[in-house]
Chains A and B, each alone.
Chain A
Amino acid sequence: MGRTLAVLFLVLTMAGTAFAVQPDEVLDDPALEARARSISAELRCLVCQNQSIDDSDAELARDLRVLVRERLVAGDSDDDVIDYVVSRYGEFVLLRPVMGTHTAVLWFAAPVLFLVGFIGILTVFVRRRRVPATVAAELTAEERARLDALLKERDH
């Protein structure tokens, strides 16, 4: 009896803690389901913290997963589905932000930095080639004196 109660308690309290995609959501067509999964990975669960709807347990994520599958079954292309979801929930839903004026810095910061760094390094090398390397190796008076002393020592 105690055991049955314990199981019952577990069943009752654990509602809403399941993982992501539920068996009843899965589409029969594996190709369509695969597309649904890859679209889901691109969409944010709006009430979660940095989770895609594919990973999330939230009710809203489930609604979105179902919505994505409905659109796919209705014959929408991947882009159509994403456009549709964005039109309803806004750009915030996209885990891969669109490229636009407001995200140009985001998208191009790293590549531009890389190019700037690369060109900078090349410039340094080209400039160095023009300056003879011996310039950098001039000895101070003290070093010159020590060198002379050492050379003299060796000559003896």
Chain B
Amino acid sequence: MIAELGHYALVLALALSLVQSTVPLLGVRRGDARLMALAGSTSTVIFALVLVSFGALTTLYLQSDFSVVNVFENSHSAKPLIYKISGVWGNHEGSMLLWILILVLFSALVALFGANLPATLRATVLAVQGWIIATFLLFILATSNPFARLDPAPFEGRDLNPLLQDPGLAAHPPLLYLGYVGFSIAFSFAIAALILGRIDAAWARWVRPWVLTAWIFLTLGISMGSYWAYYELGWGGWWFWDPVENASFMPWLAGTALLHSAIVMEKREALKVWTLLLAILTFALSLLGTFLVRSGVLTSVHAFATDPARGVFILAIMVAFVGGALALYAWRAPSLKQGGIFAPISREGTLVLNNLFLSTMCAAVLVGTLYPLALEAVTDEKISVGPPFFNATFAPLAIPLFVLIPFGPMLAWKRGDLNGAAQRLLAAAAIAAVGGAMAASLVQKGPWLAPVGLALGLWLIVGAFSEIASRAKVLQEPLSVAWARAKGLPRSAWGTAFAHAGVGVLVLGVVGETAWKTEFIGVMGPGDRIEISDHAVTLTDIRAERGPNFQDQVVTFSVVRPNGARLPVSASKRFYPARQMPTTEAGMIERLSGDLYVTLGEPQDDGKIVVRVFYKPQVNLIWIGSLIMALGGVLSLSDRRLRVGAPRSAKAHRATGHVAPAE
């Protein structure tokens, strides 16, 4: 009954989404306000319906109703409660439903917060969202029904893939989808602008908060996924250039470019045509990500059980949306009026350069991910493209970008003063140089590039806050005055500083992890002691335990840290009988200065066990850096200018006497 209710809600939502796709556009054409306003109501009702459907699936999981195929294949009555819930999206059908839930949530939010949009724009945006919603509802109903029944109902379920039974998985996909799907709003706004043939600074101001929101979630989602891979897969790596990781990284790169080009559009009405293209491409890459993960084209640890029919369907969706959007773009974009003029050395100039770097980086990842597939299809030749290739092509683009980042916010709009900017960045350059030199003299081992990388990280961090310091006149004014000035700066300035500093913190983490990690591999038994990077690690105990739906072999170590503190660490190997699948659970001591990371290998005949111990200096800065970047996004989002939204008209603007602070 519950399953049928969920299924029926989806069908109803599909019917309504067809209304949303068409009627508001008719309203725009006829100038009928009532037909246009319909889009708001349908968005809200569709959201409610999909929510009911999602609630139904969650209930089925909680009840362990194995008469539903999806629950039978991915759940187990003994599974802990949290994984019964997260298991809802730990499979293809359920995750697709979550994808759609987030899609309709965003549409409902546009309807809710879009009261200050011009009626025609709002109706068109929601209609375009309606097309996407209808297509994906059709996809899930036709190829991936999560509510399909099983007769007779089995007695017990097959359990969720043990790798996915982890708190990290509970958060990773929802965050990622909030990012992917959030970019659909930018896409819909771009298509609406092309259909209506109108685009101006106000458009950018409406779109920016959505892009920023999507970007924040995607940043968090990717970083969460990376952290999950780090502690759950037991390899101790944090980024593998796996095709599915790339699939989420490409929209992130394009989205980051979009975020920056939209600033130029909002402030200076320039780069309109380019910003529209980026909005389309960012969502296209999100769709590509969805396609790659689900089509079976790529095999990877992440890929769900795949079915060629689904792949073909998603490919068709992608071709239709991306092809259609680009055709519309080619037809309408040339007629859009170009805006502000600026000199090469200016804020706009640096943002153009930023976009050039980010889009080429994105292209590098795209080519590396798809080229082997294309080559095999065309010539039957098989090649592999792995981390060494990506490091070799990506780093030469990323490093100059990192060097340039601090200059951007220092330059004025229209025409900047490069010398002045360089002077204000002198302190940052000095601190970076000293830091790099100190690292080089303190740490004799490791590659020569490592101190340079460290200096680069410091340059980014100090450089990011140099802008705040120079605007607050830290050196010219007394500290209290400077502090008051700094507090008075718009939140978006702080947001920029934090986001850019986050990149620097991430760079520090990457340098520490890749250049200075140490490793021990060996056989250890109770009482055995090893030393690694000033840590003494003693194996104290090997024992068997039993979890709710797994058996556990736990090995405990006693670790003496360099400061003399003694801490216990446990690593384990788990076995999940329902899936006949083992997992490894790494043991970790996480500190800002570095992680001690222990994983287990093969048990030996003499009661000993193979142990692998890493010391990874600064590795946590990788995720802390991404969190700081996301925090920068949140600060920017809370800026008064975006919170207030775009002014309704110039007249209303003057009447309230409030002028948006010029950045």
Assess the B387–A52 pair: CB atoms within 8 A: yes
A6-B546, A44-B386, A113-B360 as given contacts; A15 in contact with B602, CB under 8 Å: yes
Q: Taking CB as reference atom, which chain A residue is nearest B524?
A: A23
- Chain B 368-395, CB-CB to A under 8 Å as 1, else 0, gives 1001000100010111111111001100
Contact pick for B388, options A20, A41, A90, CB 8 Å: A41
Q: Output the least CB separation between A104 and chain B (Å).
A: 11
Bound complex: CA A118 to CA B353 (Å): 8
Q: Taking CB as reference atom, which chain B residue is nearest A93?
A: B384
Bound complex: CA A65 to CA B361 (Å): 33
B292-316 residues at the A interface, CB under 8 angstroms:
299-301
Assess the A105–B367 pair: CB atoms within 8 A: yes
Bound complex: CA A107 to CA B599 (Å): 36
A87 within 8 A of B: no
B197 within 8 A of A: no
Bound complex: CA A38 to CA B570 (Å): 29
The number of chain B residues touching the other chain, given as a range, is 35 or more
B452 within 8 A of A: no
B282 within 8 A of A: no
A42-57 residues at the B interface, CB under 8 angstroms:
42, 44, 49-50, 52, 55
Bound complex: CA A97 to CA B381 (Å): 12
Assess the A117–B386 pair: CB atoms within 8 A: no
Assess the A106–B368 pair: CB atoms within 8 A: yes
Which B residues are in CB contact (< 8 Å) with A92?
382-384
Contact pick for A10, options B299, B384, B551, CB 8 Å: B551
Contact pick for A13, options B385, B521, B575, CB 8 Å: B575
A50-B242, A109-B364, A125-B344 as given contacts; A22 in contact with B385, CB under 8 Å: no
Which A residues are in CB contact (< 8 Å) with B343?
125
Bound complex: CA A97 to CA B46 (Å): 48
Assess the B360–A97 pair: CB atoms within 8 A: no
A42-B388, A95-B389 as given contacts; A14 in contact with B553, CB under 8 Å: yes
Q: Output the least CB separation between B290 and chain A (Å).
A: 19
B150 within 8 A of A: no
Most chain A beta-carbon contacts within 10 A, residue among B384, B385, B523: B384
Bound complex: CA A18 to CA B599 (Å): 9
Most chain B beta-carbon contacts within 10 A, residue among A17, A19, A102: A19
Which B residues are in CB contact (< 8 Å) with A133?
341
Assess the A22–B363 pair: CB atoms within 8 A: no
Which B residues are in CB contact (< 8 Å) with A147?
none
A17-B584, A50-B242 as given contacts; A95 in contact with B384, CB under 8 Å: yes
Assess the A96–B389 pair: CB atoms within 8 A: yes
Bound complex: CA A42 to CA B601 (Å): 23
Most chain B beta-carbon contacts within 10 A, residue among A9, A15, A17, A52: A17
A-binding residues in B (CB < 8 A)? 234-235, 237, 240, 242-243, 299-301, 338, 341, 343-344, 352-353, 356-357, 359-361, 363-364, 367-368, 371, 375, 379, 381-389, 392-393, 396-397, 521-523, 544, 546, 551, 553, 573, 575, 580, 582, 584, 599, 601-603, 610, 612
Given contacts A49-B300, A117-B356, A121-B353, 11 further A-B contacts (CB under 8 A): A13-B575, A14-B573, A19-B584, A19-B612, A50-B243, A91-B381, A95-B384, A95-B385, A110-B393, A110-B397, A114-B360
A-B contact pairs, 14 of them (CB 8 A): A6-B544, A13-B582, A18-B602, A21-B521, A22-B521, A42-B388, A50-B384, A92-B383, A103-B371, A105-B371, A110-B367, A111-B396, A114-B397, A136-B341
